[in-house]
Amino acid sequence: MEIVEFQPQHAEAFRTLNEAWISKHFTLEPKDREVLEDPQGKIIATGGRIFMALQDGEPVGCVALLAMADGGFEVAKMTVTEAARGTGLGRRLMERCIEAGRESGATRLYLETNSSLAPALALYRAMGFQALEPTHTDYARCDVWMERPL
């Protein structure tokens, strides 16, 4: 298993991986479609990064860091295939986000999620994220806000 920087050839896998988990638990929202249809333009070109997890060259997970105006990054679009769950891959992706944030001089990592995603919440807490007060969001499904100072 390796974690690599996003390349244009990963765009379809990034979209497919995220559509699968979002559709399983929620409804794809306009903001999802905007980002998933143009990850290069909506994430990378605006100062963000995407990491892809590959197993034998096949994408099995991903995570995005969206640049924020305050100097932090929003962790978004993180998922691991059903087959790769329980392998520690989610933790490795989050460790890569923390490392990338520090390399970039970011002040914090921020995320929005849903309280029904217990395994994700447990991972975020284990990685040092703490709850924040609710704030404006473009996602109807969001009911949990968290951050991790860097």
CATH of the domain at 99: 3.40.630.30
Domain membership of residue 38 (yes or no) is yes
**Does a structural domain hold residue 15?**
yes
Q: Which residues pair with 108 in a beta bridge?
A: 149
Asked if residue 147 belongs to a domain, the reply is: no
Domain ranges, residue 37: 2-106
* Residue 13: inside a domain: yes
Examine residue 62 and state whether it is found in any structural domain, yes or no: yes
pLDDT per residue as tens digits for the range 17-76: 999 999 999 999 999 999 999 999 999 999 999 999 999 999 999 999 999 999 999 999
Q: What is the pLDDT of residues 100-132, one digit of tens each?
A: 999 999 999 999 999 999 999 999 999 999 999
The torsion angles phi and psi of 87, rounded to 5 degrees, stand at -100, -5
- What is each CA distance from 63 to 51, 92, 133, 135, in whole angstroms? 5, 11, 24, 22
Q: Is the pTM of this model over 0.95?
A: yes
Domain count, the chain: 1
pLDDT tens, position by position, 53-62: 999 999 999 9
